[in-house]
A = this chain, B = another copy of it.
Amino acid sequence: MFDYKLLAALAAVVEQAGFDRAAQRLGLSQSAVSQRIKLLEARLGQPVLLRATPPKPTEVGRRLLNHVQQVRLLERDLQAQVPQLDDSHLPERLRIALNSDSLATWWAPAVAPFCAAHGVVLDHVLEDQDVGLKRMRAGEVAACVCAVERPLGGARSEFLGAMRYRALASPAFVERHLRDAPPAEALLRAPAIVFGPDDQLQHRYLASLGLEGPFSHHLCPSSEGFVRLIQSGLGWGLVPELQVQELYRSGALVDVYSGPPIDVRLYWHHWRNGGELLAEFTRQLQRSAGQWLVG
């Protein structure tokens, strides 16, 4: 068997984003945590962590974390069968990567009944929908919501439904930037809002109108901030319909251009041998997500 004291130290340093906090979480001194990591590296003959701020797992470190994540889920099943094994009175945690727009809209009502019924708490990790799988590959999460269909080896993916996006702006912004020129070309010159370097939705929308090339844009890595910037007339951007139903109905936000909305299909990825808790979570999510997502 592996030495799980060492692996737990590695997991704590990565999950807590530092040696200090890992030590706190484990109830050890910082130097004890540090020694465990060094011992692990000595046994493996290679580093498991890059000593950056925060520390990052190396390739082999990632594989170990992936393994720890799966062992934890299996332990949870065993504890349900043999309750005496349970040495902690804190509730179970599930670590899940998802896109910010899901967390800002349908996610909480979709998973709330499960969490309340099973006493589970969630660690949410934000990752753009096109790249969320890298958190699973890195072994940092038990499951992930993302726009990629193809599962990793050892995992399954299930279609949850699509989020519908509209290209919106404030009426004052449209009046100012998009009124005189033909709207499609004016869009390239008017400032956009982009969530972050991985967000290609605005690019995809412009391409669907036959527009290519660089465009001026604000960067705003927050779903709520994104809508606030649009409302305040700083730019246009693609927003989930779910997030702005009221603002859209009242005319506070309007379409920048006629044309169909963009649907982003979302998939639920989870480890195949992720244990009974994750399987039950998956079943409930599949039943409930359709209330908010487009089939």
A220 lies within 8 A of B115 (CB): no
A153 CB–B CB distance under 8 Å: no
15 contacts between A and B (CB under 8 A): A16-B197, A17-B197, A103-B220, A103-B222, A103-B228, A107-B228, A108-B231, A109-B232, A112-B229, A116-B233, A121-B217, A124-B221, A124-B222, A222-B224, A223-B224
A218 lies within 8 A of B123 (CB): yes
Give the size range of A's interface with the partner.
Answer: 35 or more
B234 lies within 8 A of A115 (CB): yes
A133 to B125, CA, bound (A): 23
A232 lies within 8 A of B104 (CB): no
* Chain B residue at minimum C-beta to C-beta distance from A125: B221
Contacts of A53 in B (CB 8 A): 56
Q: How far is the CB of A223 from chain B (nearest CB, A)?
A: 5
A290 CB–B CB distance under 8 Å: no
Contacts of A221 in B (CB 8 A): 124-126
* Chain B residue at minimum C-beta to C-beta distance from A96: B219
B112 lies within 8 A of A233 (CB): yes
